[in-house]
Chains A and B, each alone.
Chain A
Amino acid sequence: NAGVTQTPKFRILKIGQSMTLQCAQDMNHNYMYWYRQDPGMGLKLIYYSVGAGITDKGEVPNGYNVSRSTTEDFPLRLELAAPSQTSVYFCASSYSKQAYGYTFGSGTRLTVV
Chain B
Amino acid sequence: DAKTTQPPSMDCAEGRAANLPCNHSTISGNEYVYWYRQIHSQGPQYIIHGLKNNETNEMASLIITEDRKSSTLILPHATLRDTAVYYCIVRVEGWETSGSRLTFGEGTQLTVNP
Interface residues of A (CB under 8 A from B): 4, 33, 35, 40-45, 48, 56-59, 88, 90, 92, 96-102, 104-107
Asked if A58 contacts B100 (CB within 8 A), the reply is yes
Majority DSSP secondary structure for residues of B touching A: loop
Most chain B beta carbons < 10 A, residue from A42, A45, A57, A105: A42
Residue of B nearest to A91 (CB): B43
Interface residues of B (CB under 8 A from A): 32, 34, 36, 41-46, 49, 87, 89, 91-96, 98, 100-107
Residue of A nearest to B8 (CB): A40
A-B contact pairs, 15 of them (CB 8 A): A4-B43, A33-B102, A41-B106, A42-B103, A42-B104, A45-B101, A45-B103, A58-B101, A90-B44, A97-B96, A99-B32, A99-B92, A104-B42, A106-B43, A107-B41
A45 to B96, CA, bound (A): 17
Asked if A40 contacts B49 (CB within 8 A), the reply is no
CB distance from B22 to the nearest CB of A (A): 14
> What B residues does A88 contact at CB under 8 A?
41
